[in-house]
Chains A and B, each alone.
Chain A
Amino acid sequence: MTGHEADLETVAALLRGEHSAFTGLVRAHQSAFLRLAHAWVRDRADAAEVVQQAWVSALESLATFEGRSSLRTWLFGIVINVARSHVRAHKRTVPLSAPVAEEAIDGPTVEPERFFQDGEWVGHWADWPTPFPSPDSGLERGRLRALLEVAISALPPLQQQVMVLCDVEGLSGEEACNILGISGTHQRVLLHRARARARALLEKNFSDEAKTQ
């Protein structure tokens, strides 16, 4: 069965009222929905409310799902729309235009002071990056996962959403653009900056740790 056929079968099962189809869908997407919603509303309780409302909206409009995008992409779009409406309705955090301004900044993704600014070695590392532990060990992977969760949730909203969609959920850049309503160029810049910032936050942790040892 192709992904498209599986999506249509899931929708048909939901429309038949099968609980197991709904449980499976929730298990597969609940954590991603919460991450995406949190990127907009910046509060765990509000994010949970948004996700619950998104499930209601998804069920209400299920009959209109035509399979032009994957079911997952369609559901993510609903979460984003509900989260945006929630922010607008509650006039929370910052105006919607602000995150775009905040995230559209050009400039280097690694602090210039990490590199020699003049002399023979200009542009070369002055302050070398601290290696991360290998994620091959289960213990270290658990630690890296916890740190990365924190790092991603600290990203500016749009960067956070692009990184969650592309790197955590594995969507293509094009799918992320369609869901978020941004251009391909903007998506690439946001993803580049998000990854660099997440890397920097992890590095700070390991570098601080190395200093105390």
Chain B
Amino acid sequence: MSTTVVDARNLLCPLPVIRTQDAVAKLQPGDALQVWCTDPGVVHDIPAWCRVHGHDICNIDEREYEIVITIHVGGSGS
């Protein structure tokens, strides 16, 4: 298992979702992905995207100006 980090800070949704989607497409089931964001909309959108694609949210760390979301890549790919 590896952890990949995506920097989506200063991007507005849906771009952080697209960056997440593009990163997940290169990962294997069981890998972890950490996405760094500033748009508060990601706390809704990235989990929603994960739900429809079968990935799990491990943690959402909401800091003062940044949000770090950790995803566990599921088995469905895409």
- Chain B associates with chain A: no
Please give the residue numbers on chain B whose beta carbons come within 8 Å of chain A beta carbons, in ascending order: none
Please give the residue numbers on chain A whose beta carbons come within 8 Å of chain B beta carbons, in ascending order: none
